[in-house]
Amino acid sequence: MFPPELVALTRHDMVRALPPALFEQILTQHLYRYLDFTTKLELLVVNKTVLAIANGGVDLHLPDEMVFDAYKIYCDEAYHALFSADLIRQVHARTGLPPQLDERPYFLTQLRRLQESVEPQLRALVELLFVVCSETLISATLAEVPDDPRVDTAVRRSIRDHAADERRHHAYFAAFLKFLWYEMDSGQRRAMARLLPDLLLAFLRPDLPAIRCELAGYGFNRDQIEQILAEVYDDGTVNAYARDTSRQTMRYFAAVGVLEDQAACNRFAELGLLEEGR
């Protein structure tokens, strides 16, 4: 159902030693999480922002064509949510394996936590920048799954269509960042620059509590679970993944001057998001 190379848990010897049926369950549950993540991201966050852009709810001086394009993106993202929800139903019907999904996605919990950490008047900016992050990060899933013959044809086709749309959305939000950043005042830029590293990781960090629950369901005891998590999601591996995935986004941040704020630069470095030599 999903390439094991893109499922971090499958790198661990104890996980690879599971019976084939359980190993396949891990891949299927990962597919469920990916599809559910897509559905909730598009509906609960991205389309909320895109709708505000289209309806003039974002106080920026945007070109008319950019405002009109927001309507198109809204339709794209709604369709991504629809086909992701539909694929979950299809996979469940085919495999008989029920999806194990959190009602509230991890990324949304982290986003709300970061919004609550700033003054109320800055919280809308935090969400706008979270969408910029989510739409400009380069996902290995979107890049690799469409050409993998091991993956179900319907899944490959849907993710290929999603990837084509996201390339356009990527370009849109890279341009949107410039308008947003340059229309902020100096205090807003300073506050947001220092929060951006944590916003990136809100999107990219693994949901360890959910993974613990999943591993317990496969029969691992507490010590085994903690060993697997420590060895699969060590800081070096997590930071390397975040750096690779956010490389282009970091270029956009640098271009608008985010890294000119020393405190922001220090925070990016502390979280392992800067390339060596910066």
Q: Where are the domains of the chain?
A: 4-270
What pLDDT digit, counting tens, does each position of 175-229 carry? 999 999 999 999 999 999 999 999 999 989 999 998 999 999 999 999 999 999 9
- Tokens matching residue 98: 């029920």
Q: Are 40 and 27 spatial neighbours (Cβ–Cβ below 8 Å)?
A: no
pLDDT at position 278 over 80: no
State the pLDDT at residue 98: 95
- Two tokens at 111? 């986003």
Which CATH architecture is the domain 4-270 placed in? Orthogonal Bundle (1.10)
The C-alpha angle with vertex 207 and arms to 51 and 203, in degrees rounded to 5, equals: 35
155 burial level (CB within 10 Å; 0-12, 13-18, 19+) = buried
Q: Is the pLDDT of residue 140 over 80?
A: no
pLDDT bin (cut points 50, 70, 90) of residue 103 is confident
Work out the percent of the chain whose per-residue pLDDT is above 70. 97
Would you state the pLDDT for residue 121? 95
Name the more confident of 141 and 22. 22
State mean pLDDT over 115-140.
Answer: 92
Q: What share of the chain is helix, strand, coil (3-state, %, to 5)?
A: 80, 0, 20
Model confidence at 277: pLDDT above 70: no
| Average pLDDT of every residue of the chain | 92
Buried b (16+ CB within 10 A) or exposed e, 237-269: ebbebbbebbeebbebbeebebbebeebbebbe
Provide the pLDDT confidence category of residue 139 given band limits of 50, 70 and 90. low
